[in-house]
Structure 1
Amino acid sequence: METRITEIADGIFRLSTFVPEIAPPSGFTFNQFLILGDEPLMFHTGLRRMFPLNRAALSRVIAPERLRHIAFGHYEADECGAMNEWLAIAPHAQVAHGQTGVYVSLNDMSDRAPRILQDGEVIELGGGKRVRYIGTPHTPHGWDAGVMFEEQTQTLLCGDLFTQVGDGPALTEGDVVGPAIAAEDLFRYSALAPNMGATIRSLASLAPRRLALMHGPSFAGDGAAALHALADDYDRRFRAASVQP
């Protein structure tokens, strides 16, 4: 395996590791995102066993010890498995997450005290970069789920939303909704909570120009339209599940 790094928006880098053995024959990508600034932020830590690959890739952009913020969508191995490895090499870094994630998991699992982010709270990274935390409980799964929005580049850090299989380009203007629907059919990974569609539509109000996917290519284009289409599919799934005997 190797971790490839690509700048998908001004000052935002995608670190991507493709694992062909997962979901064969298509394989599966695991992506982290580095946002530069005076206080750089990493969204997703990657799996603990992928830490050496990701550290080497990140080192091609900045010295790892410069990291100041570590964030992720929810508590799960591929989202935060290497959290403490990053904390060990970045002495001034702090994990930042919503209140539920901190109280339920991170106060115990993080080697340094985490920062609680309120819904809508902004972290100022410097250099014009600002990331806003948005809680999305149970969307697509996890009571502690949330996303982040980088306001300068209008990049939505989607976590597991729009998950797809395969090893596509780092950045695409093509369809990300159809492949996400296919992946949901394959994995059944979402919670199918009744408010899921509404939660995803609320993200569309941000009018993102970039969608940074954890599993799949990042998307450049009408992010709001893609989010509305994804929300429609989850509404359809929930209605279908509700009428089954």
Structure 2
Amino acid sequence: MNDTKVDQIADRIYRISTCVPDIAPGGFTFNQFLVDAQEPLLYHTGMRQMFPVVRAAVEQVLPVESLRWIAFAHVEADECGAVNEFLAAAPHAQVAHGAMGVMLSLNDMLDRPPRALADGDVLDLGDAGLRRTVLEVATPHVPHNWESHVFFEQVTGTLFCGDLCSQLGDGDPVTDHDLLEAAITAEETFWQTSMGPAVPAAYRRLADLNPTTLAVMHGSSYNGDCPRLLRELADIYETRFGCRTAPAQALPGHDTPIGAGR
């Protein structure tokens, strides 16, 4: 692994990045994000083997024991492998996740009970010079996993988007250069996305939030025209990758069609 780097990508929001050189051409970054607030939030923990370097990086900004919230986009080693290590290091910390993930996995996996968030719930991180409120947005199966969700920090307009908009290589911490082709290349390298009709709708819903910064888990964060990028990716998934919207169909035993009501 290359050295772990800490860079500010938005007001009091920090990207912790470790590049692993042999995963993809030019390497592949694993990023965590730290929100410095009255109730600090760590978004992604990294894999368990990365805990020492990620903890040391957090300590460059604030004491690890001051963490109040830990979150991640879905249940996967690079997203939450070190979650119990961080819970042990931060005695007042609690995992906040979508209700689906809490029900499916986290009630059993975690050493302390998590907080379950419904789609549209707001998590208040308190006021430490700049008030922070985080919106819970459910994105089931996008890019993968039933429990997938993202956080949108409403004050700075930062979207913590997990694996969405992934790129290969070890680029700048944050860029305004167009990431469209880089994101398509990463998709065509790993085929990480569940190629279903929910994908374009999820990207367009996130675009409607009008984020100003995309905090990307793999690759550079983005502070260009975020809504345009997200809508262009929705179009690509729909036309090139075949994620077209299917007619709504009712599940057996249910009156509500699949896809209806969202």
Measured against the shorter chain, the TM-score band is: over 0.9
| Greater shift in the superposed pair: 230-239 or 216-225 | 230-239
Give the AA of the match of 1:104: L
State the distance in 1 between where 2:235 and 2:196 align.
Answer: 13
CA contact (8 A) 2:137 2:149 kept: yes
Please state whether the residue corresponding to 1:239 is helix, strand or coil.
Answer: coil
C-alpha displacement of 1:195: 2.0
1:60-79, Cα deviation, whole Å (9 max, x unpaired): 10000000000000000000
Alignment correspondent of 1:182: 185
Give the AA of the match of 1:77: A
Please state whether the residue corresponding to 1:16 is helix, strand or coil.
Answer: strand
Are 1:55 and 2:58 an aligned pair? Answer: no
State the distance in 2 between where 1:12 and 1:59 align.
Answer: 14
Give the AA of the match of 2:174: L
Alignment correspondent of 2:111: 111
Q: How does 1:1-245 map to 2 (within 5 A)?
A: 1-23=2-24, 25-127=25-127, 128-239=131-242
State the distance in 2 between where 1:241 and 1:155 align.
Answer: 28
TM-score using structure 2 length:
0.90
Identity of aligned residues (%): 54
C-alpha displacement of 1:2: 1.8
Give the AA of the match of 2:90: A
CA contact (8 A) 1:38 1:125 kept: yes
CA contact (8 A) 1:3 1:18 kept: yes
CA contact (8 A) 1:124 1:130 kept: yes
State the distance in 1 between where 2:241 and 2:149 align.
Answer: 20
Please state whether the residue corresponding to 1:126 is helix, strand or coil.
Answer: strand
Once superposed, which parts of structure 1, at least 4 consecutive aligned residues long, lie more than 4 Å away? none
Give the AA of the match of 2:65: E
Bigger radius of gyration among the two = 2
1:144-170, Cα deviation, whole Å (9 max, x unpaired): 000110011000111000011100000
C-alpha displacement of 1:240: 7.8
Please state whether the residue corresponding to 2:161 is helix, strand or coil.
Answer: strand
TM-score using structure 1 length:
0.96
Give the AA of the match of 1:146: H
State the distance in 2 between where 1:219 and 1:49 align.
Answer: 27
State the distance in 2 between where 1:238 and 1:194 align.
Answer: 10
CA contact (8 A) 2:180 2:229 kept: yes
CA contact (8 A) 1:194 1:238 kept: no
Please state whether the residue corresponding to 1:225 is helix, strand or coil.
Answer: helix
State the distance in 2 between where 1:240 and 1:29 align.
Answer: 27
Give the AA of the match of 1:188: W
CA contact (8 A) 1:192 1:237 kept: no
Please state whether the residue corresponding to 1:108 is helix, strand or coil.
Answer: helix
CA contact (8 A) 2:43 2:72 kept: yes
C-alpha displacement of 1:238: 4.2
State the distance in 2 between where 1:201 and 1:240 align.
Answer: 13
Give the AA of the match of 1:118: A
State the distance in 1 between where 2:108 and 2:219 align.
Answer: 31
Structure 1 gaps of 5+ residues are none
